[in-house]
């Protein structure tokens, strides 16, 4: 009798299954372990996570490392996700500065067009001038209101105000005349003076109409057709806002800069195909699908997508000590998305949503690199270590330990970085595929489209249900049901959208509604998981048709997602396929499939 440990190094977690081997081939599984993967999958940094997960599993079965006869690890191909922009790096704006950050409490109502003047310099303004007053944070709201009223009585035509503090309503309530007031402008000191400006505040519940329309801006500033074309990014950024400001600046103040999206070169056995990122994700994936046996994928030099692929190679070269040129990319997943881009010339840190293509790239698995990890483990633990096999093939062997499963069978192994599919026939013959893109790609899309700048927050939005705090004692769940609580909530989360994570209410501090967050999350999961799973099953199907597959078992960490299994089950039901979550060894749910499968091949 001896103990064997199967180890699956994943992009997010490292999993262990320990089995007791008797009489040469009788296998009895005794425990499992799981920890967060250390470092990028397929690199020497993984070793700490492997040892931690192994110790966890050994402790569960009261066994020491000295009792292990063999450790078997998976072949690991790392996956790195990134975004290749279509409208690149800087929004194009010429001769304009804009503000449209949608403060929660602007003052007044209407549209005003005039020359920008500091409120403390109104004395120098002639009575027939039309002005927009600039009120910096050093100016008290009572003083500001009194000053505006004073000069209105003197005949100065004040038609709007831009305020640095959160004083819009306070000033408006003290004025003798209703004017549009935009407040909370962070960088107000940078607003150019004596320049023509337009200020617009919509009524409660409304949105700006003049400044969100490029022809409205053209009317205000007397622009020609070419100039109107250049202000389209400004008007797009202001769509849906309740307040906005546009200021015409001296020629040359804001420069135009472009970096092209670039082309992707996909090299197969027979030919190299070229596709432009600007053609979109569906065209990119069409070319990927039509390229037989991809050997490498590169981006056009000097472009955004070229830089992305080069970063992937640089990261992997540094981590694995391999030559930069020897790093080959074997698969990509491209998804259409949107990315908030900072507006050049913006004075309240404004952003505009620009079209983008999200790309996950998979580096070709390197057995030599995995052998380095195996040798390092052997030296550290004094236990024999070998490479156990391809993940997708091992996963299907692990999935067959699910109660009620049998050959023939197909599996979808959905992890953090990759989606694997494999199929086994009645004779035990296995066909498999290993594709880039899974849970991390979904998180990246949520992070980008909501402008969160927090991978951890985006991960929580992906994994947990949402709710709206409607009072200090009750919430409305995203499915519409209401839940009441005996203890009141922290007042800071009142009226906020929150994440329901392990009994805690975590606020999402962005302006997006719960409906928008739900929509972005669902669409991201459909773009990655549903589309990708159909692609993967089509590849491994003996006939190329999903309809010829009867049963599919869902395994991997992303199968634990509260939405993904249902989305995939619904999608596959249209093909007459029965799909459901696996339960490895009847104990671990959809987890531990690869680690278990490695041991079944002992």
Q: Please check whether residue 442 is in contact with residue 462, taking contact to mean a CB–CB distance below 8 angstroms.
A: yes
* Residue 54: pLDDT over 90: yes
Domain boundary among 248, 281, 298: 248
**215 and 188 housed in the same domain:** yes
- The annotation status of 496 as a binding-site residue, yes or no, is no
pTM: 0.73
Q: 239: alpha, beta or left, given left = phi > 0 and alpha = psi -120 to 50?
A: beta
Query: Are 358 and 427 members of one domain?
Result: no
Q: Determine the Cα–Cα distance for residues 208 and 115; give it in Å rounded to an integer.
A: 20
For residue 171, being part of any structural domain is answered with: yes
Residue 298 has pLDDT above 50, yes or no: yes
Please report whether residue 44 resides in a domain. Answer: yes
Question: Whole domain around residue 47: which residue ranges?
Answer: 1-77+367-389
Note whether 65 and 183 are same-domain residues. no
pLDDT at 232: 78
Answer yes or no: is 496 within a domain.
Answer: yes
Q: The CATH number of the domain where 147 resides is what?
A: 3.50.30.70
Does residue 253 fall inside a structural domain? Answer: no
* Residue that terminates a domain, selected from 224, 248, 272: 248
Domain CATH code at residue 467: 2.40.50.140
Closest to 12 in 3D by CA, of 355, 418, 344 = 418
Pair 48, 158 in one domain: no
Q: Output the pLDDT for position 119.
A: 93
Asked if residue 236 and residue 267 are part of one domain, the reply reads no
Q: Where do we find the tokens 């292990």?
A: 68
CATH code of the domain in which 441 resides = 3.30.420.40
Residue pair 365/391 in contact by the 8 Å Cβ criterion: no
> 64 lies in a domain?
yes
Domain contains 592:
yes
- Report whether 82 belongs to an annotated binding site: no
**Residue 110 falls inside a structural domain:** yes
Are 303 and 203 in the same domain? no
Does residue 575 have a pLDDT over 80?
Answer: yes
- The answer on whether 456 is annotated among ligand-binding residues is no
Q: Confirm or deny that 384 is annotated as ligand binding.
A: no
User: What whole-number distance in Å separates Cα of residue 113 and Cα of residue 130?
Assistant: 7
The pLDDT of residue 71 is 93
Same domain, 481 and 493: yes
Q: Are residues 441 and 499 in the same domain?
A: no
Q: What is the pLDDT of residue 97?
A: 59
Query: Above 70 in pLDDT, residue 436?
Result: yes
On whether both 320 and 437 belong to a single domain, the answer is no
462: annotated binding-site residue? Answer: yes
If one counts every other C-beta atom within 10 angstroms of the C-beta of residue 303, the result is: 21
Q: Is 105 annotated in some ligand binding site? A: yes
Which one of 509, 526, 555 terminates a domain? Answer: 509
591 is in an annotated binding site: yes
Q: Answer yes or no: is pLDDT of 257 > 60.
A: no
Is 70 exceeded by the pLDDT of residue 294? yes
Tell me, yes or no, whether 425 and 533 share the same domain.
Answer: yes
Query: Higher-confidence residue: 368 or 35?
Result: 35
- How does the average pLDDT of the chain come out, rounded? 86
| Pair (444, 579) in one structural domain | yes
Inside any domain, residue 383: yes
Check whether 142 is labelled as a binding-site residue: no
Element (H, E) at 573: helix 564-573
pLDDT 10s digits, 487-500? 999 999 999 999 99
- Predicted pLDDT at 16: 95
| Identity of the highest mean pLDDT range in 17-26, 212-221, 467-476, 536-545 | 467-476
Provide, for the chain, the percentages of residues in helix, strand and coil under a 3-state DSSP scheme, each rounded to the nearest 5. Answer: 35, 30, 35
Read off the tokens for 417: 């970085």
Higher pLDDT, 239 or 7: 7
Phi, psi of 508 (to 5 degrees): -105, 105
* pLDDT tens-digit readout, 160-206: 999 988 899 999 999 999 999 998 887 787 777 888 899 999 998 78
Number of structural domains found in the chain: 5
579 annotated as a binding-site residue: no
Contacts within 8 Å (CB) and 24+ apart, 227-230: 227/94, 227/95, 230/92, 230/93, 230/94, 230/95, 230/96, 230/256
Higher pLDDT, 44 or 133: 133
403 in the same domain as 379: no
Q: Is 183 annotated as a binding residue?
A: yes
Where residue 273 sits, what CATH number does that domain have? Answer: 3.90.470.30
Is 11 marked as binding a ligand? yes
Confidence at residue 568, expressed as pLDDT on a 0 to 100 scale: 95
- Residue 593 predicted with pLDDT over 60: yes
Q: 145-149, 398-402, 414-418, 593-597: which range is least confident on average?
A: 414-418
């Amino acid at each position: 009798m001896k103990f064997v440990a199967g180890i699956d190094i994943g992009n997010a977690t490292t999993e262990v299954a320990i089995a007791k081997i008797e009489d040469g081939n009788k296998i009895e599984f005794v425990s499992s372990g799981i920890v967060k993967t250390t470092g990028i999958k397929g690199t020497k940094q993984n070793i700490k996570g492997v040892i931690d997960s192994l110790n966890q599993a050994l402790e569960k079965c009261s066994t020491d490392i000295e009792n292990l006869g063999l450790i078997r690890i998976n072949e690991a191909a790392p996956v790195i996700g990134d975004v290749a922009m279509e409208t690149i790096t800087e929004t194009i704006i010429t001769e304009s500065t804009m503000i449209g950050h949608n403060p929660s409490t602007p003052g007044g109502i209407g549209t005003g067009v005039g020359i920008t003047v500091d409120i403390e310099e109104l004395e120098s303004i002639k009575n027939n001038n039309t002005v927009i007053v600039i009120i910096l944070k050093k100016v008290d709201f009572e003083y500001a209101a009194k000053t505006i009223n004073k000069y209105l009585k003197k005949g100065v035509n004040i038609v709007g105000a831009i305020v640095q503090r959160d004083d819009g309503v306070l000033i408006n309530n003290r004025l003798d005349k209703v004017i549009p007031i935009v407040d909370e402008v962070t960088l107000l000191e940078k607003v150019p003076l004596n320049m023509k400006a337009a200020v617009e505040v919509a009524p409660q519940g409304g949105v700006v109409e003049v400044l969100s329309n490029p022809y409205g801006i053209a009317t205000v500033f007397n622009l020609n057709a070419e100039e109107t074309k250049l202000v389209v990014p400004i008007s797009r950024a202001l769509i849906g806002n309740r307040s906005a400001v546009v200021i015409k600046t001296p020629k040359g103040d804001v420069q135009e800069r472009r970096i092209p999206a670039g082309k992707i070169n996909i090299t197969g056995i027979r030919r190299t195909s070229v596709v432009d990122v600007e053609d979109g994700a569906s065209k990119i994936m069409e070319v990927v699908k039509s390229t037989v046996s991809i050997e490498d994928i590169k981006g056009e030099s000097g472009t955004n997508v070229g830089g992305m692929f080069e970063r992937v190679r640089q990261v992997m070269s540094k981590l694995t000590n391999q030559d930069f040129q020897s790093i080959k990319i074997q698969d990509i997943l491209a998804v259409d998305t949107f990315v908030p881009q900072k507006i050049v010339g913006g004075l309240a840190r404004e952003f505009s949503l620009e079209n983008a293509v999200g790309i996950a790239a998979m580096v070709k698995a390197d057995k030599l690199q995995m052998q380095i990890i195996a040798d390092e483990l052997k030296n550290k633990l004094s236990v024999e270590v070998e490479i156990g096999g391809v993940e997708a093939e091992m996963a299907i062997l692990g999935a067959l330990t699910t109660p009620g499963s049998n050959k023939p069978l197909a599996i979808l192994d959905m992890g953090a970085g990759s989606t694997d599919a494999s199929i086994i026939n009645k004779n035990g013959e296995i066909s498999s595929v290993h594709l880039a893109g899974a849970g991390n790609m979904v998180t990246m899309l949520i992070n980008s489209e909501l402008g969160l700048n927090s991978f951890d927050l985006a991960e929580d939005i992906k994994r947990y249900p949402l709710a709206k705090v409607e009072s200090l004692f009750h919430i409305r769940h995203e499915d519409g049901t209401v839940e009441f609580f005996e203890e009141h909530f922290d007042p800071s989360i009142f009226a906020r959208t929150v994440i329901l994570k392990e009994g805690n209410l975590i606020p999402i501090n962005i302006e997006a509604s719960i409906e928008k967050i739900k929509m972005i999350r669902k669409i991201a999961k459909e773009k990655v998981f549903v589309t990708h799973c159909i692609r993967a099953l089509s590849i491994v199907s003996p006939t190329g048709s999903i309809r010829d597959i009867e049963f599919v078992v869902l395994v991997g960490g992303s199968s634990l997602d509260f939405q993904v299994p249902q989305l995939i089950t619904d999608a596959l039901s249209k093909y007459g396929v029965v799909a459901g979550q696996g339960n490895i060894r009847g104990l671990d749910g959809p987890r531990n499939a690869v680690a278990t499968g490695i041991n079944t091949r002992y």
